[in-house]
């Protein structure tokens, strides 16, 4: 059954969940959120896994770790990068946090944000769920990596990566 969901989740379904206007709103929200802290938030949305990943039985968590590496979320000066990864075919949200913020926030905080987002997605509220997840992630980053005086470099793109 998983194969079917991944192989036949088409572009139309992806665009209904996250149309261009929603992607633009996510980008604006990330940019605004990052003004309040020194961390970096990166959003990645994937409809379904490629066939090779399905054959290897890659879990959503494993895929999120691959995407974290590929998008270089780990490559921030203060090790405060956070990936919010959505795998629509599995209806799964994973958060991968770099070691600097993960050590301070802890696994339970990330799990709570993921489950809250998944509840919103299950109700068909994709944009609301994503914006709430970005807000909760930003609050943790602001708590542990508050903004300083002066410019705050934008180390990662704010636009969601649609895979």
| pLDDT tens column, 127-137 | 999 999 999 99
Q: What is the span of the domain harbouring residue 44? A: 2-147+155-162
Average pLDDT, the chain: 92
112: region left, alpha or beta (phi > 0 left; psi from -120 to 50 alpha) = alpha
Sheet bearing 161-162, strands edge to edge: 92-97, 81-87, 40-46, 161-162
Residue 88: strand, helix, or coil: helix
What local confidence, expressed as pLDDT, does residue 53 receive? 87
Q: What is the CA 67 to chain-centroid distance, rounded?
A: 10
Q: Is the pLDDT of residue 9 over 80?
A: no
What local confidence, expressed as pLDDT, does residue 127 receive? 97
Q: Is the pLDDT of residue 61 over 90?
A: yes
Of 47, 102, 27, 66, the residue nearest 113 (C-alpha): 102
Can you give the CATH number for the domain in which 68 is found?
Answer: 3.10.310.50
Residue 87: strand, helix, or coil: strand
Q: pLDDT tens-digit profile of 72-101?
A: 999 998 999 999 999 998 889 999 999 999
Q: Is the pLDDT of residue 150 over 80?
A: no
Q: What's the domain count of the chain?
A: 1
């Amino acid at each position: 059954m998983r194969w079917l969901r991944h192989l036949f989740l088409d572009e139309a379904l992806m665009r209904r969940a996250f149309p261009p206007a929603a992607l633009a709103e996510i980008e604006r929200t990330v940019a605004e959120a990052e003004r309040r802290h020194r961390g970096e938030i990166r959003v990645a949305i994937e409809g379904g896994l490629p066939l090779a990943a399905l054959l290897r039985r890659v879990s959503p968590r494993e895929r999120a770790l691959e995407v974290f590496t590929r998008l270089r979320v780990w490559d921030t000066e203060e090790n405060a990068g956070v990936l919010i990864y959505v795998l629509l075919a599995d209806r799964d949200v994973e958060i991968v946090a770099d070691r600097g913020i993960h050590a301070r926030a802890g696994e339970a905080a990330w799990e709570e944000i993921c489950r809250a987002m998944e509840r919103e997605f299950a109700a068909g509220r994709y944009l609301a769920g994503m914006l709430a997840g970005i807000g909760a992630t930003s609050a943790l980053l602001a708590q542990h990596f508050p903004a300083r005086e002066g410019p705050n470099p934008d180390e990662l793109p704010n636009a969601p990566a649609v895979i």
